Amino acid sequence: MHSCNCIGMVFVPAFPVIGSDVANIALAMLIVFGAAKLLAEFFEQIGQPGIVGEILAGVVIGPGVLGWVRPDEFLGALAELGVIFLLFRVGLDVKASELMRVGKTALLVAVAGVLVPFLAGWGIMTARGVSSIEAIFVGSAMVATSIGITARVLSAMGLLGHRASQAILAAAVIDDVLGLLILAVVSSVARGHVNILQLSLTAVLAIGFTALVAHFGTQAMGRIVPGIQARFRGGEVQFNLALVLLFAMSYLATRAGVAAIIGAFLAGMALSETVERRVHELTHGVSELLVPFFLVGIGLNLKPSVFGSTETILLALLILVAAVLSKFLACGVGALSLGRADALRVGAGMIPRGEVGMVVAQIGLGLGVVSQQVYGVVVFMAIATTLVAPPLIRIAYRGLSAAPQSAARAGDAI
């Protein structure tokens, strides 16, 4: 991930060094995975999404509370792989043709969900009298949606095939590209120079890569997969091919300037109408192992010590409220063509910022244009929106059956 110049890339939180020998690695995995699953089960038992428990597990075992887990590259790599497999698994359950049906609505949702949160964050910080570049960075941190969180909730509910879910997924892909371009401009301004040619090239590559794969990927895989399967005999041929495509697309996505997770999602979607059920099952097993490391990693970044003053706490709460309402209202209005109920679902699904907001804050801190106080506020906003989103999504989708509704799919070519 190129955390220095783009948005939407997977942010791997820093865990405290715990040693590199096998015993310490096994212990760290035990603590992270065990805590995640225990708290997930507790939250499921009380009627709340398990994902909230997995994120809170990171808060509890991390430096801010118990301090059991400290920075480690191995755990960071597992976190990055976790979100990549999560989005690949989601892509396998999504058909490109269905996503295209909500294309126009998704574009409106994405644009509204970028502009309104940006202006809200920028306006609040400007009113506080901070520098213009710091205000712009806070606005940028409020822009992009962390689709991994929403995708996990919808997948667990069996509602990825619903029309509102399709709109959320499509909007999140567009959202990522728009967020990338905004951060590229903001970072250039912070460094004191703007290279129009480079920014234009980044925009063309990002948009072109996403559009080409989304449009032609399924058709291409429909021709390639059967031919390869007929020639190869060793092991799980389709799953092996799927993994090759997953890693290749994740790499190419980063080179094109978008998130590795977008490449993973597009890879899954390209294979969704071709591969057998066995590939879905194997992918599910791998993601069940790795995704908790991604979710726990988000919680590990919350450091209560940052909030040492009433002023900081009030600012954090104000930014949080603005982050939730700006996405919910703006994206909901953008999706009104789907009907009021689906508009509310889209608004709720676009709320979480997760690792995306933390990446922007980290870049601003590294460039010396964001203070430690503001950095802490943005990290709090990113984690808090991630925590409040799953219950809101569950409420918005309440009453819907897990099976995709035919009525929601039919007649919605927008």
Cβ neighbours, 10 Å, residue 2: 10
pLDDT in tens, the chain (414 residues): 333 433 333 333 444 444 457 788 888 889 999 999 999 899 888 877 787 788 889 888 988 788 888 756 787 888 888 888 988 887 887 777 766 777 788 889 989 998 999 999 999 999 988 888 888 888 888 887 877 778 878 887 888 778 888 888 888 878 777 776 777 777 676 666 656 666 677 667 767 777 777 777 777 777 777 777 777 777 788 888 899 999 998 888 888 766 777 788 888 888 888 888 888 889 989 988 998 998 888 777 766 776 777 888 898 899 999 999 999 999 999 999 889 999 999 999 999 886 667 667 767 777 777 777 788 888 888 878 888 888 888 888 887 766 444 333 333 333
Q: What is the pLDDT of residues 104-147, one digit of tens each?
A: 888 899 899 989 999 999 999 999 888 888 888 888 888 878 77
Q: What is the pLDDT of residues 178-217, one digit of tens each?
A: 776 777 777 676 666 656 666 677 667 767 777 777 777 7
Q: Are 332 and 340 in contact (CB under 8 A)?
A: no
Give the model's pLDDT for residue 120: 93
Q: Which two tokens stand for residue 2?
A: 């190129």
Q: Cα separation of 47 and 26, whole Å?
A: 31
Residue the block writes with tokens 């865990």: 15
Q: Got the DSSP string for 15-35? A: PPP--SSHHHHHHHHHHHHHH
Closest CA to 92 of 252, 284, 253, 259: 284
Residue the block writes with tokens 């005999």: 233
Cβ neighbours, 10 Å, residue 133: 14
Domains of the chain: 22-398 (1.20.1530.20)
